[in-house]
Amino acid sequence: MGVPKAELHVHIEGTLEPELVFDLARRNGVPAPAGSVEELRARYMFTGLRSFLDVYYANMAVLRTGQDFHDLAAAYLARAAEQGVRHAEVFFDPQAHLARGVSMGAVVEGLAGAADEARHLGISADLILCFLRDEPAESAAEALRLAEPFLDRIVAVGLDSAEAGYPPAAFAEVFATARAMGLRAVAHAGEEGPPEYVREALDLLRVERVDHGIRSLEDPALVARLRDEQVPLTVCPLSNVRLGLVDAITDHPLARMLEEGLLATVNSDDPAYFGGYAGDNFAAVRSGLGLSDSDLRLLAANSFEASFLPEDRKTDLI
Ligand code: ES4
Ligand code: ZN
């Protein structure tokens, strides 16, 4: 079951297990991306973020209807609840789906319907609309415009996809528009990109959390700022190892981040691809880094603290 926690960094499309890829391909009459589940899983050997994203975007082509998004989220929320996740803030990538002719309504209503139904499992979920940083900012603005009728189901905007060479600055305006609409803001930064991208995310996008942020450790002044301002970092240990950004779980910088007094959390990122859900990531850092019970309690408390839940619900859950 695992310690009660919130999951703040999970891409719903990254929870698409190979079995569901094949079920949905059959249901929708679209080609499966491989000959078999085993053949597909055998491709999950990544040399970096780009090599992972190529497989991730290819597989999500089987997602066509609101029911597909519902079933995807229902499966994730059931597995997350089993691993002790009491609240999830879930990324989705609408631009990738709009490009295939899937409507914003099908995506958001499918995901939100599953979130409503999962309440009886003891898990709540909110949605974070992510912009693709390797697409033009105009495309992000169009996605935000299309999301306006569904804003009551969306808590925040985020920024994801290939990072190196795509600094946050280009998205300052669309993030300002989103904040003016009442949305909160987060961004991936310092995963494969330099510490400067973390600064830009804070200063230009005015994000309240940084997703990954591990490369911040290369810059002592930035570390001091993240500590002083207690900026939450949503760290994804198994993801970093599987993408080759960290050599081994035993070398993961999470231990150093805690020593530095940073507000770190542990998350799964794309659990269908990286070898585990939230509880598996907690287990991996516990054994790989030799974290103590009090470290694990701190990580769990941080996850609620860093969430966008109302203060009274945070205190109930911590
Ligand atoms: C992602 Cl691991 C990672 N990094 C950036 N963007 C992403 N989208 C899905 N997984
Ligand atoms: Zn991510």
Domain membership of residue 229 (yes or no) is yes
130 falls within a domain: yes
In a domain, 312, yes or no: no
The residue nearest atom 7 of ligand 1, judged by CA position, is: 161
| Residues having C-beta closer than 5 Å to ion ligand 2 | 269
Three-state SS letters, the chain: CCCCEEEEEEEHHHHCCHHHHHHHHHHHCCCCCCCCHHHHHHCCCCCCHHHHHHHHHHHHHHCCCHHHHHHHHHHHHHHHHHCCEEEEEEEECHHHHHCCCCCHHHHHHHHHHHHHHHHHHCCEEEEEEEEECCCCHHHHHHHHHHHHHHHHHEEEEEEECCCCCCCHHHHHHHHHHHHHCCCEEEEEECCCCCHHHHHHHHHCCCCCEEEECHHHHHCHHHHHHHHHCCCEEEECHHHHHHCCCCCCHHHCCHHHHHHCCCEEEECCECHHHHCCCHHHHHHHHHHHHCCCHHHHHHHHHHHHHCCCCCHHHHHHHC
Q: Tell me, what CATH number does 229's domain have? A: 3.20.20.140
pLDDT of residue 1: 62
Determine whether the annotation assigns residue 212 to a binding site: no
Domain of residue 98, residue span: 5-307
pLDDT, block means (10 residues), the chain with 318 residues: 92 98 98 97 97 98 98 98 98 98 98 98 98 98 98 98 98 98 98 98 98 98 98 98 98 98 98 98 98 96 97 87
Per residue in 251-293, pLDDT (tens digit) is 999 999 999 999 999 999 999 999 999 999 999 999 999 999 9
Residue 254 lies in a domain: yes
CA of 26 to the centre of ligand 1 (A): 26
**Going by CA atoms, what residue is nearest to atom 1 of ligand 1?**
161
pLDDT given for residue 317 in this prediction: 85
pTM given for the model: 0.98
Q: Is residue 313 part of a domain?
A: no
**Interface ipTM:** 0.98
- Residue 97 marked as a ligand binder: no
Q: What is the set of active-site residues?
A: 191
Q: Do the domain assignments include residue 182?
A: yes
The verdict on the CB of residue 188 being under 6 Å from ligand 1 is: yes
Does 318 map to a domain? no
Determine whether the shortest distance from the Cβ of 270 to ligand 1 is under 6 A.
yes
Instruction: Specify the pLDDT at position 318.
Output: 81
Report the domain count for the chain: 1
Residue 317 lies in a domain: no
For residue 192, give the ligand 1 atom closest to its CA: 4
